[in-house]
Amino acid sequence: MRIVLSGGGTGGHIYPAVAVARQLEAEEGDTAFLYIGGSRGLESKLVPQENLPFKSIDITGFRRKLSMDNVKTVMRFLKGVKASKIMLKEFKPDVVIGTGGYVCGPVVYAASRLGIPTLIHEQNAVPGLTNRFLSRYADTVAVSFEGMESAFPACKHVIYTGNPRATTVATASPQKGFASLGIPEGSTIVLIVGGSGGAKAINNAMIEMVPFLGKGKGVHYVYVTGDAYFEATRKEVSQTLGELPNWIHVLPYIHNMPEVLACTSLIVNRAGASFLAEITALGIPSVLIPSPNVTNNHQEVNARQLERSGAAVVLLEKDLTGQAMFEAIQQIIGVEAVHRKMSVASLSLGKRDSAAVVVHELRRLAGKKTKNS
């Protein structure tokens, strides 16, 4: 098959597309790919690192308030559609899949106008603006949360697939995770991460939490700060502890996140949908701190789904302090029965075959392919 992938802005939109590509490679070795992303987005850096052919268009998202920038966005969208049509006619894909982010808008819309079968994947419990718009034109909408099918009434074919990223982490090696961190196998690891770019509020709480950590002995704490916050966070932690002990690890970024997750006992994180798919695929209990700065507060909606199932504790950013974070961690990691119960609940929510389900749907759509206009 020939597949065009599109998704961008955050790792939560990019990595599901990469997961689908890897599943296709495993199932069909002769698949050809083209990834169309934004020239300014994180995908322009991450996708080439994944050895996927990458082309870009210049596109931005809409402002929430009325603004002249939105006029420019409409113009960029129209130019993006035109550029996408040229790329699609040249590549001749069997199917186009969009995994979220505003870059998918012109790409998937252009494909639909050319008669190319399209699939869009919605990771969050609350549909994004781009996917709501595209659902009118897509042949299939795939959703990550069971029961979300009714959120896309404009599309005739909506299916529950889970998040393809879950498949990537389900087979990851915990041994490689321990080795990459320099932590002995079998150790208890609490991973604290604020997303691919880091989060200032979570980093501040990590710094505030340091004086409490001696009370939770036998645990390795891994702080992932994001590149922008690394130096300042490491400096603050070092000033409190002196030379960093071997049970606290401060890192700017983790490139082998599936392997690190596979050896993690508890995670403290935002509530982006792709990350939630990863941790439930592995049955990891979590303390979730939803970002308050996202459209429709969708991260809190995501987090509450895990909380209701007993897989997570939700700590809102307005209540976030170092002590509150430490106490939430200790309530889980310090009580074996609680940790075990939450782990079982987390695993029950995981859908480990998500990428294979999406690939099955892509094959079905490829069989319906019409001649490009």
Residue 70 assigned as binding residue: no
Beta-strand relationship, 188-193 and 158-160? unpaired
Which residue is listed with tokens 């006619």? Answer: 89
Residues in the chain: 373
Q: Is 225 part of any known ligand binding site?
A: no
DSSP characters for 305-336? HHHHTTSEEE--GGG--HHHHHHHHHHHHT-H
Burial class (CB in 10 A: 0-12, 13-18, 19+), 44: middle
The answer to whether 61 is a known ligand-binding residue is no
Helices 336-349, 322-333: crossing angle, 10 deg rounding: 90
* 47's tokens: 């996708």
Spatial CA neighbour of 189 closest among 174, 167, 171, 203: 174
**134 in Cβ contact with 117 (< 8 Å):** no
* Residue 299 marked ligand-binding: yes
Tokens 């890897």 -> residue: 22
Rounded CA separation 56/256 (Å): 25
- Token pair, residue 46, equals 């991450």
Q: Is 175 annotated as a binding residue?
A: no
Query: In which order are the strands placed within the sheet that holds 118-122?
Result: 54-57, 32-38, 2-6, 95-98, 118-122, 140-143, 158-160
Supply 316's token pair. 């809102």
**Residue pointed to by tokens 């999406």:** 358
Q: Where are the beta strands (DSSP E) in 244-354?
A: 248-251, 266-269, 286-288, 312-314
Q: How far apart are CA 226 and CA 18, in angstroms?
A: 21
Tell whether residue 12 is among the known ligand binding residues.
yes
* Residue 100 annotated in ligand binding: no
**Longest CA pairwise span in the chain (Å):** 67
Element (H, E) at 75: helix 68-91
Judged by phi (left if over 0) then psi (alpha if -120 to 50, else beta), residue 253 lies in: beta
Q: Annotated binding residues for UDP-N-acetyl-alpha-D-glucosamine, as ranges? A: 10-12, 124, 196, 254, 299
Q: Annotated binding residues, as ranges? A: 10-12, 124, 196, 254, 299
